[in-house]
Amino acid sequence: MATRRSAVSRIEDIPDADPGNESLDNHPLAERGRTVARPPQAAGSLDWRQAVGGALIGLGIIATVVAWYGVSGTVDPGEQMPYISSGGFGGAALIALGVTLLVGYEHARDRGALLEVLDELDAVRGRLDDLAHELRDTTSAASSRPAGARNGIRGTTARTRRPSPS
């Protein structure tokens, strides 16, 4: 079973990111623990849907092989019908049910992963909203000062006009 790894799980995994860069360390969106929290996945853990689905597929294959063996021993269609109806159709039904359970497990796992991604996106959106409000507050405070106050000059500032191209 292949393990799934997120594309970026640490800040050091970001392309062109210098881990020694102080601006990256002090960035408001940088994770405090330097790694993104991921739920631990137990290696070798087996869900009940995987176990039952695999067992049903195995039983379906066995039933189909037994039916084929019983049918192959006779040429009389009357003697073949019990093998086909019980082993053939029953085996196919067991295989279909086992595959359904395996697909259901994969769907449930994918939904869980999607919910994790949506939770992370909500957290990032909340942090971005907080930063936007902070930036708006900073901008409104800076615009309430006189125009020359930013450069340490009080009063009005002369604006130069660019010469028109003629």
**pLDDT in single tens digits along all 166 residues of the chain:** 444 444 444 445 545 545 555 555 565 555 554 444 555 455 568 889 999 999 999 999 999 999 988 888 888 888 888 888 888 899 999 999 999 999 999 999 999 999 999 999 999 999 999 999 988 888 887 777 665 555 555 555 555 556 666 5
The reported pTM is 0.52
What is the DSSP secondary structure assignment for residue 163, as one 8-state letter? P
Euclidean distance between CA atoms 15 and 35, whole angstroms? 15
Instruction: Give the burial string for 17-54 (b: 16+ CB within 10 Å, else e).
Output: eeeeeeeeeeeeeeeeeeeeeeeeeeeeeeeebbeebe
Pair 83, 96: CB distance under 8 Å: no
- Count of residues making up the chain: 166
Euclidean distance between CA atoms 53 and 95, whole angstroms? 8
